[in-house]
């Protein structure tokens, strides 16, 4: 194209017509996450979140117990790394024995997969026996390692009931003959985080185990205490439950209300909150292309973090957000990845920019689709990522704020 054919390159910045609303997120799957989150956190902005977890326990090898073995103590160990919240408020846990089975996805004899799905509202308490088998009060710890770049693993040790210890150590050999037999005999544990009135924090659980301390007692002697470790690993089912209470928040009364656009929007992991974004002005570009002879070079949607409301010094922000197209066939679902993600996930964006405290997304190809078919402008959902394994939240400037949400469209106008 000759240079003389180019009239100008311009940019249009628009925010007035954009609307944004804070909404409950869709229920998330919580089985087999990379990490589980547990604890109770009464967030000063986002209200109360509680995380609890259930998991199977497995035999690494056939236990060396004998008829003369005596259980000294049975300890459940929870390993965590990092706290989202404070480390001064005492918390408490109760442990229950599962009475219903948890299931991993399995392969059938024909080679097909049987999928078992659990979501954040799973009734783990209802799947457990009524009486607790262990309790622990604790104050979370948080300590940096020698490089000051990571946290050190911490351990919570909960003594379980002597009745369970005796039952495990005197289990029939058939109940310990392989992983399937054992999980049918002992289905696992449910660790329930207890309520609290204020403060607290959510702990990132990176592992668990159960340790039997026992002795072999005969008429003539008693051995020193012996140890057998039960495992929790990738072959054991793990499921989390997350609940959120927004009744005492400033935004709770307007949650899910689309009658008035929000000045602030709230995003939260663990199946908490997402935002609905409407950008009706995207439809106008069809006329601009037709009447003004222009070519769209780039379209970018920009969200500004409210750093004061987010209090990012105390509460880490999500490193990545996701902008998803609302599925008009299933508008309450998670949403669909925009066309720009398919073209280039890295250029599509969503990464936090600490220089100007923004999250931005390239939607050039999505805009082109809307230009060709305006009915595809169904709006967007803005969500956090790593939903089921990390506590994160952020407050963004909403569409009715002075800063607003910005749509920047760079274009070339031809002669």
Q: What is the pLDDT along the chain (415 residues), one digit of tens a residue?
A: 455 555 678 888 898 999 999 999 999 999 998 899 999 999 999 999 999 999 999 999 999 999 999 999 999 999 999 899 999 999 999 999 999 999 987 655 555 667 789 999 999 999 999 999 999 999 998 765 555 455 678 999 999 999 999 999 999 999 999 888 999 999 999 999 999 989 999 999 999 999 999 999 876 666 778 999 999 998 899 999 999 999 999 999 999 999 999 999 999 999 999 999 999 999 988 877 777 778 889 999 999 999 999 999 999 999 999 999 999 999 999 999 999 999 999 899 999 999 999 999 999 999 999 999 999 999 999 999 999 989 999 999 999 999 999 999 998 887 6
Contact indicator for 202, 37 with CB cutoff of 8 Å: yes
Tell me what pLDDT residue 151 has: 63
Q: Are 36 and 193 in contact (CB under 8 A)?
A: no
State both tokens at 98.
């599962």
pLDDT at residue 120 in the model? 97
**d(C-alpha 309, C-alpha 26), whole Å:** 24
3-class SS at 375?
helix
Please list, in sequence order, all residues whose beta carbon lies within 8 angstroms of the beta carbon of residue 235, skipping any fewer than 6 positions away.
Answer: 58, 104, 179
Task: Give the per-residue pLDDT at 112.
Answer: 62
According to DSSP, the β-strands at 36-43 and 199-216 are antiparallel
* Tokens linked to 47: 């209200």
Q: Is 365 helix (H, G, I), strand (E, B) or coil?
A: helix
pLDDT at 149: 53
Beta pairing partners, 383: 322
Contacts of 324 (CB under 8 A, 6+ apart): 334, 335, 336, 337, 338, 380, 381, 382, 383
What pLDDT shows up at residue 219? 64
Dist. CA 338–CA 343, nearest whole Å: 9
Q: How many residues does the chain have?
A: 415
Note whether 98 and 236 are within 8 A (CB): no
In terms of Cα–Cα distance, which of 240, 239, 211 is closest to 225? 211
Backbone angles phi, psi at 203, to 5 degrees: -105, 140
Max Cα separation, the chain? 105
């Amino acid at each position: 194209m000759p240079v003389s054919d180019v009239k100008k390159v311009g940019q249009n910045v628009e925010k007035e017509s954009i609307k944004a609303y804070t909404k409950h997120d869709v229920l998330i799957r919580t089985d087999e996450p990379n990490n589980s989150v547990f604890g109770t956190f009464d967030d000063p902005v986002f209200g109360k979140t509680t995380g609890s977890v259930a998991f199977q326990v497995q035999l690494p090898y056939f236990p060396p117990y004998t008829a003369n073995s005596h259980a000294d103590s049975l300890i459940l160990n929870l390993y965590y790394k990092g706290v989202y919240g404070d480390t001064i408020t005492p918390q408490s846990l109760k442990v229950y024995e599962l009475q219903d089975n948890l299931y991993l996805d399995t392969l059938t004899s024909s080679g097909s997969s049987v999928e078992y799905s659990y979501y954040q509202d799973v009734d783990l308490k209802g799947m457990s026996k009524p009486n607790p088998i262990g309790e622990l009060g604790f104050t979370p710890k948080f300590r940096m390692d020698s490089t000051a770049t990571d946290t050190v693993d911490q351990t919570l040790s909960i003594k379980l009931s002597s009745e369970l210890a005796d039952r495990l150590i005197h289990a029939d050999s058939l109940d310990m003959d392989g992983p399937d037999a054992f999980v049918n005999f002992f289905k696992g544990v449910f660790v329930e985080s207890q309520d609290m009135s204020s403060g607290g924090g959510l702990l990132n659980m990176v592992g668990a185990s159960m340790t039997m301390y026992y002795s072999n007692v005969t008429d003539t002697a008693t051995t020193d205490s012996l140890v057998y470790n039960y495992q929790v690993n990738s072959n054991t089912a793990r499921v989390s439950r997350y609940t959120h209470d927004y009744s005492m928040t400033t935004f709770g009364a307007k949650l899910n209300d689309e009658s008035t656009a929000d000045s602030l929007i709230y995003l939260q992991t663990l199946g908490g909150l997402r935002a609905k974004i409407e950008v009706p002005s995207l439809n106008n570009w069809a006329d601009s292309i037709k009447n003004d002879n222009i070519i769209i070079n780039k379209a970018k949607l920009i969200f500004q973090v409210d750093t004061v409301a987010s209090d990012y010094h105390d509460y880490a922000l999500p490193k990545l957000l996701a902008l998803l197209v609302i599925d008009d066939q299933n508008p309450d679902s998670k949403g669909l990845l925009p066309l720009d993600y398919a073209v280039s996930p890295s250029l599509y964006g969503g990464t936090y920019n600490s220089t100007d405290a923004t999250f931005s997304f390239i939607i050039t190809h999505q805009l082109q689709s809307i230009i060709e078919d305006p009915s595809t402008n169904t709006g967007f959902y803005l969500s956090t990522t790593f939903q089921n394994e990390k506590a994160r939240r952020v407050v963004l400037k909403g569409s009715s704020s002075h800063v607003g949400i910005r749509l920047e469209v760079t274009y070339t106008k031809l002669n």
